Amino acid sequence: MGPSLAPSTEADSAATADTPDAGNPGSRKAGFEVRLANFTGPFDLLLGLISKHKLDITEVALATVTDEFIKYIRRLQELGEDWALDEASEFLVIAATLLDLKAARLLPSGEVEDAEDIALLEARDLLFARLLQYKAFKQIAGIMGETLEQEARRYPRQVALEGHFAALLPELVWRHTPEQFAELAAKALKPKDAAPAEVGLDHLHAPPVSVKEQAEIMGYRLKLGAPLSFQTLIADADTTLVVVARFLALLEMFRDRVIAFEQPGPLAELTVRWTGADADWDSSSLSEEYEAGAESYGTVSEENGSE
């Protein structure tokens, strides 16, 4: 602690600035309402109903929700509301979870025949739990943020030891030669590569199917211009895993706003159309939920928030 004596307006504002309650989605979400054939109400309530099984996720036209949301955000921007971006990125996270959820629910759920089907069923429940958990942690994070801010208004006394006490300290034992010290410095200064999070075990159980790779294939086909049905897109898939990977890839691409879905009704044929203005889009912008390395999905939600 080496406090400076210079009065600082910057430090001052850091200590006093009020944040709009960044952690409480309830208070911020209040504005956005979803209007669907089978549901009208705030987005949060929609999530709540889905999580309580009172509304089947497969009955929710997510495209409609998204369209409405985009309209809502545009309106906010026109009104000069500066938290539109926050709300938009939060929506993306939640919508992505909903999409995953819907993806899992839409998968054929007939007889449980093999381990793959069981895995898919479990994945569906996990997604469910994840959605709930995510919401809970979001609320808790809001509470923690408020606590941290309140607590930051107290400054601990942590002054340097007074000279006469410092003089009492026993002489340091020092056994390093300059060379050993340099070695230590070299070690300490070496850039630290992020340690691998863990050793992946997935490949031991199933042949790897890369969502990213499938996204590239989907992207290539769709960029030709003509809308394609999902059936066409998976016609050459030789395993269920490839079908799943392609579907997830499409969801990811939808999240990247480069494609659009059309589906006249539940379980009707799903048509996919390229809408990306950016002809340069490639799969490297995909989330690393499936692939390690990229950062793109992270950036939207990582950098938004209260700053």
Partner 1 sequence: MSEQETVQDGLAELEALPGGARAALEAVLMVIDQPATSEELAAGLNVTVAVVEDLLQDLQREYSGYTVKAPDVDAVGFADASTAPRGFELRNVAGGWRIYSRSDFADIVGRFVLEGQTTRLTQAALETLAVIAYRQPVSRARVSAIRGVNVDSVVRTLTQRGLIEDSGNDPESGAVLYRTTSYFLERMGIGSVAELPQLSPHLPGLEGIEEYYDASRM
Identify the helix (H) or strand (E) that includes residue 159.
none
Which positions from 214 through 273 interact with partner 1, judged by CB under 8 A?
Answer: none
What six digits make up the tokens of 216? 């590239």
144 binds partner 1 (CB under 8 A): yes
3-state secondary structure of 1: coil
- In angstroms, rounded to a whole number, what is the distance separating the alpha carbons of residues 70 and 75? 9
Q: C-beta of 293: minimal distance to partner 1 in Å?
A: 9
- Which residues between 42 and 101 bind partner 1 (CB under 8 A)? 48, 51-53, 86, 93, 96-97
DSSP string, 172-241: PP----HHHHHHHHHHHHSPPPPPPS----GGGTS----HHHHHHHHHHHHTTSS-EEHHHHTTT--SHH
User: Binding of partner 1 at residue 277 (CB under 8 A)?
Assistant: no
Minimum CB separation of residue 49 from partner 1 in Å reads 10
CB atoms within 10 A of CB 63: 13
Q: Which of 24, 139, 240, 263 binds partner 1 (CB under 8 A)?
A: 139
- 28 binds partner 1, rule: CB under 8 A: no
Quick note: the x/- pattern for partner 1 over 171-190, rule CB under 8 A, is xxxx-x-xx-xxxxxxxxxx
- Residues whose CB falls within 8 Å of the CB of residue 11, separated by 6 or more in sequence, listed in order: none
Binding window for partner 1 (CB under 8 A); candidates: 55-63, 70-78, 197-205, 225-233: 197-205
Q: Is residue 118 a contact partner of residue 81, using CB atoms and an 8 Å limit?
A: no
Nearer to partner 1, 137 or 220 (CB): 137
Asked if 162 touches partner 1 (CB under 8 A), the answer is yes
Identified binder of partner 1 from the candidate list 157, 226, 236, 268, rule CB under 8 A: 157
Options 57-65, 103-111, 134-142, 254-262: segment touching partner 1 (CB under 8 A):
134-142
